[in-house]
Amino acid sequence: MDRVVPQAVPLGQMEVFQALQRLHMTVFSQSVSPCGKFLAAGNNYGQIAIFSLSAALSSEAKEESKKPVVTFQAHDGPVYSMVSTDRQLVSAGDGEVKAWLWAEILKKGSKELWRCQPPYRTSLEVPEINSLLLVPKENSLILAGGDCQLHTMDLETGAFTRALRGHTDYIHCLALRERSPEVLSGDLRTAKEVQTIEVYKHEECSRPHNGRWIGCLATDSDWMVCGGGPALTLWHLRSSTPTTIFPMRAPQKHVTFYQDLILSAGQGPCVNQWQLSGELKAQVPGSSPGLLSLSLNQQPAAPECKVLTAAGNSCRVDVFTNLGYRAFSLSF
């Protein structure tokens, strides 16, 4: 096996520290700008980096194009989730939600547009916000977090309207069901607003040694895919029955529907592509040992930047121009 021989650069204290930081960096979340040309990525040190997808994908791309255009310290703790409205980038991490203007974000030293904290019950530990969800019809933001509640926040007024309880453990992921205004949330034991599907109880998909938690959730109106501790399964929502179980050993952290495929990523360096019937179509290896977030750039304004980006347990964000192979990696 080829060993990469590193350059003999004398390393002082600063360089060693930076190298160690990069080694232990995890990118938790990604979000695409409304114009489709920029990608924001948030990591476990609370930094958000903005990458220029158009520059990196252009034919004159150099090494510097794969570095962030701007990096700033957004939160004190890790940035667990980000979501983009048509003008703002909303990021959430350790108990706080902040918003940034996409138009201003490229200038260094930009300040956040607003920040607020959902009302928490416990004061001993600030719960983290694992997932954000935009409900465009109501123009509101739903936060799911470590205090086992779903908070709804109105984007215009900034006030927290509702708090939905019912989960017994902290909430990992949210998905919006388009046709009927339902929000699906998954945690240790799945509980929806309307229905409770206890995934782990079903024999086919439970995997006790991994635990009961639901790490990822995606929905396509009638169908839902969820996975995590239990195996990755496709459910029919109306009847609440599992239809297909995908034979993936490693727990999956992110899953999404794309055209007629299901893309999933989790522990293990590959992005998996599944047919709806349960067959594995392709396994495309990335550069990180584990993936936490997938993002598809489907913004209509920038069709040339239509790429899939995957990020996880490293400082690199993989860019797939064609779902069949990894084109290159952007790095912090």
Partner 1 sequence: MSSESSKKRKPKVIRSDGAPAEGKRNRSDTEQEGKYYSEEAEVDLRDPGRDYELYKYTCQELQRLMAEIQDLKSRGGKDMAVEIEERRIQSCVHFMTLKKLNRLAHIRLKKGRDQTHEAKQKVDAYHLQLQNLLYEVMHLQKEITKCLEFKSKHEEIDLVSLEEFYKEAPPVISKPEVTMGDPHQQTLARLDWELEQRKRLAEKYRESLSNKEKILKEIEVKKEYLSSLQPRLNSIMQASLPVQEYLFMPFDQAHKQYETARHLPPPLYVLFVQATAYGQACDKTLSVAIEGSVDEAKALFKPPEDSQDDESDSDAEEEQTTKRRRPTLGVQLDDKRKEMLKRHPLSVMLDLKCKDDSVLHLTFYYLMNLNIMTVKAKVTTATELITPISAGDLLSPDSVLSCLYPGDHGKKTPNPANQYQFDKVGILTLRDYVLDLGHPYLWVQKLGGLHFPKEQPQHTVIADHSLSASHMETTMKLLKTRVQSRLALHKQFASLEHGIVPVTSDCQYLFPAKVVSRLVKWVTIAHEDYMELHFTKDIVEAGLAEDTNLYYMALIERGTAKLQAAVVLNPGYSSIPPVFQLCLNWKGEKTNNNDDNIRAMESEVNVCYKELCGARPGYQLLTNQLQRLCVLLDVYLETESHDDSVEGPKEFPQEKMCLRLFRGPSRMKPFKYNHPQGFFSHR
- Residues making contact with partner 1 (CB under 8 A): 3-4, 6-13, 15-17, 19-24, 26, 28, 77-78, 80, 124-125, 128, 130, 146, 170, 172, 208-209, 211, 213, 215, 253, 267, 289-290, 292, 313
**How is 35-79 classified by DSSP, letter by letter?**
TSSEEEEEETTSEEEEEEHHHHHSTT--GGGGS-SEEEE--SS--
CB of 6 to partner 1, least distance (A): 3
CB of 45 to partner 1, least distance (A): 9
CB of 132 to partner 1, least distance (A): 12
Rg (CA), the chain: 20
Tell me how far apart the alpha carbons of residues 91 and 79 are, in angstroms, rounded to a whole number.
7
Q: How far apart are the first and last CA of the chain?
A: 26
CB of 76 to partner 1, least distance (A): 10
Comparison of 12 and 300: residue with beta carbon closer to partner 1: 12
Tell me how far apart the alpha carbons of residues 236 and 297 are, in angstroms, rounded to a whole number.
27
Would you say the C-alpha torsion 164, 168, 169, 174 has a positive or negative sign? negative
Comparison of 36 and 42: residue with beta carbon closer to partner 1: 42
Comparison of 13 and 180: residue with beta carbon closer to partner 1: 13
Contact 186, 212 (CB under 8 A): no
Kindly tell me the burial class for residue 289, based on how many C-beta atoms sit within 10 Å of its own C-beta (0-12, 13-18, 19 or more).
exposed
Comparison of 244 and 267: residue with beta carbon closer to partner 1: 267
Tell me how far apart the alpha carbons of residues 265 and 284 are, in angstroms, rounded to a whole number.
10
Of 27, 86, 46, the C-alpha closest to 288 is 27
Tokens 């040309």 label which residue? 37
CB of 146 to partner 1, least distance (A): 6
CB of 187 to partner 1, least distance (A): 10
Comparison of 3 and 179: residue with beta carbon closer to partner 1: 3
Identify the bridge partners of residue 62 per DSSP, sorted by sequence position.
Answer: none
Of 152, 212, 218, the C-alpha closest to 187 is 212
Comparison of 146 and 227: residue with beta carbon closer to partner 1: 146
Comparison of 24 and 162: residue with beta carbon closer to partner 1: 24
Alpha carbon 9 to chain centroid, angstroms: 36
CB of 235 to partner 1, least distance (A): 21
